[in-house]
Structure 1
Amino acid sequence: MLTIGLIGYGAIAHDIVRVFPADAVRWVALLREGARPGLPGHVRAVTRLDALIDARPTAVVEAAGQQAVAACVPALLEAGIPTLIASVGALSDPALAARLSEAARIGGARLVLPSGALGGLDYLRAIAVLPDARVRYTSRKPPAAWAAELAAAGLTVDDRAIVLFEGTPSEAAGRYPKNLNAAFAVAMAAGAEKVTVLVIADPAASGNTHEIEVESAAGTASFHLVNAPSPDNPKTSALTALSIVAALRELVDREGHR
């Protein structure tokens, strides 16, 4: 039986666990002291990072936010444990990105960045070498997904879309650390200096919509994805967990053949 670690047990981790048969994986979840997320019987909770490392999981999935990446992932990589991070926006911090790269080198472990809620990243990686390339990424979600942000800004959405943010991927990752990881995934693929991010609350949006528009010497491209939200968290696309599951299966298979 495989042992797989989790950092956090929110909507994404819950969705990942339920994809796998209960008798196929032994899960170990690192939780904050006092957290009680209602774990299934085959998910064991630990509250110390060294206890997660001592469990020697085949891989660990971070699903607890950007702070958890900084607090936990370097030690896991240095211990030789491959780690997938859902909160790719954490890499908008150059110092942390360098620290993770060095930790992976020291431990000889892979740091995996799943595609998350997006498609088309292979195209963006291809045009990244073109100096004239320009990319516009738009996150368009129903107002319910931005309820806290709208309330904080004193805004009410009636029948019109409201632009909450326009700026760089790093600014977006800092302002919306829990739900704009997709924007930084675009930036990592295409080059952050080429990308503009828009965040829109739109009552006409039928789901969590990701729009990527590209212009370059290689041509033009447009990607439009409408993802159903996670049943447990409207800010997160259900596809995010499925993407992590696909990357996790590939990683586990590769580790099994080493």
Structure 2
Amino acid sequence: MTLLSINVNKVAVLRNSRGGHEPSVLAAADAALAAGGGGITVHPRPDQRHIRPDDVLALAERVRGRGEFNIEGNPFAPARGAYPGLLSLVRDARPQQVTLVPDGDGQLTSDHGFDLVRDGPRLRPIIADLRALGTRVSLFMDAGSPDIARAAEIGADRIELYTGPYAEAQAQGEASAALALCARSAIEAQAAGLGVNAGHDLSQANLGLFLRKVPGVLEVSIGHALIGEALHAGLAATVRAYLEIIAQD
């Protein structure tokens, strides 16, 4: 069954807006895992707009033995202030998975995948270093990218399909083309020996259709919609609702 990893970045956004320690990202992780979530995802950034390095280390300890810990991040972003760089965080936290994402400070959120013709040579040694630490490496990729198979060539274990365009198309009632593109990319990745994850703008409204149409999705990482829905229904109830959707597909 597809693993549900809950991204707790938005909990940190709310905490940081006021300062202090509440709401607690540790308590959110506890609630999500207790409700049956398979893992926790965080995306620390150099500007520390939400998850901070100290959160990453605390969550690594809290999640260990209870679920998968997935750290997302830009592998090219240098250390800055209290942000020690992605490789340093991974070395200390030892997550089960690292998802490499080509985001920058100017992006409100991740909105495109890697261009591996351009970035592949720089990524290859980084991927090797991460795998030497015992972590699985996934690359954030656009559905329809001509570089899908190249991800395997440079050493990645998985790709994460960027599902923002699918979610937008589904909301407009025109999801068939976007779904077909995701499905083709998933099949191409699997043929190259890569596992397939998916994430970005997935929600209760669009997750079921996605999993029915895109074969072999191993993991979905969901944060923004899930936390938003949890404001009304509660975090544990929302996690369980997602798990029911996954179980049906």
Q: TM-score, normalised by structure 2?
A: 0.35
Q: Highest CA radius of gyration, 1 or 2?
A: 1
Which of the pair is proportionally richer in helix? 2
Q: TM-score, normalised by structure 1?
A: 0.34
